[in-house]
Amino acid sequence: MFLEERQEQILELLALNGKVLVKELAERFGVTEDSIRKDLSALELDGKLKRTYGGAVAIREKLHVMAANKRRTVDVEAKRKIAATAFKLIKPGDMIYLDVSTINIALAELISKADSDFKVVTNMIDVLTILSRSAKVDLVFIGGKLNRSRDGFCDGLASEMISRLKPDVSFLGVVGIDLNDNAVSTYQIEDGINKTRVTSVSKRAYIVAEARKFSTDGNYTFAHVDDFDGVITDSKPKPELIRAASNLNVEIILP
């Protein structure tokens, strides 16, 4: 086998498993561990992986923090698809928690136009603005200290208010979903604490996220993927991610 072929197969294994071990690769390819270390070093220099003790892990993209009013113009069609799918999971009379998420802005629009009575709790200003126009929505707003970049309230007071709730269903936005490490992340610690609290008090909790977030990371892990009933996304993830979700007993919900 040529060097380039071996390195290509190493990358395929990395994409499948999220990590590789030097010893296992050496046995698989019938070469020395030193040869594998050189392969991993070369691939790291090319920006294709990150070396760790005894092996390597896949590089996950870091998203830049962006204010909510800018995020809402990104992946608009994907967000509409996700919102429409999420809407099918709620029923009249449900208490619905809409977390700070631009996808939940699209979901709020659907709820506001529905000919049904809903009770909605949110800590996002845009969601409040949309639903305050609907006479059929029993609306509860979570207050506290304003976080302008999040377009909502994510402090300790908000967390205290959330802890007293028992939503029938909640929809939470995320920065990254790592199915291999069973981790869900966001950027800001206060936001993550609120999301953790919402997830723990909800009867059903769903992640709402574009498919690209299966390969991105935030800075703060606030939950395990299997803390949720499912991940609502816009397009089918790679087969290895479907398998990883199945191993965690987490449903990938598509339009």
* Angle at the Cα of 246 from the Cα atoms of 224 and 94, rounded to 5 degrees: 65
Q: What is the mean pLDDT of the chain?
A: 89
Does domain 3-59 sit in CATH 3.20.20.70? no
CA 221 to CA 191: how far, in whole Å?
11
- Above 70 in pLDDT, residue 150? no
- 147 pLDDT band, cuts 50/70/90, is confident
CB 19 within 8 A of CB 53: no
The string of pLDDT tens digits covering residues 198-238 is 999 999 999 999 999 998 888 899 999 999 999 999 999 98
Query: Quick one: DSSP state of residue 210?
Result: -
The pTM of this model reads 0.76
Residue 251 CA, chain-centre distance (Å), reads 13
Residue 149 confidence (pLDDT): 66
- 36 pLDDT band, cuts 50/70/90, is very high
Residue, of 89 and 19, whose pLDDT is higher: 89
Among candidates 125, 103, 89, 117, which has minimal Cα distance to 202? 89
Residue 66 confidence (pLDDT): 47
Does domain 68-253 sit in CATH 3.40.50.1370? no
- 65 pLDDT band, cuts 50/70/90, is very low
CA 191 to CA 100: how far, in whole Å?
8
Q: Where in the chain is the domain with CATH 1.10.10.10?
A: 3-59
Residue, of 46 and 62, whose pLDDT is higher: 46
CA 146 to CA 155: how far, in whole Å?
8
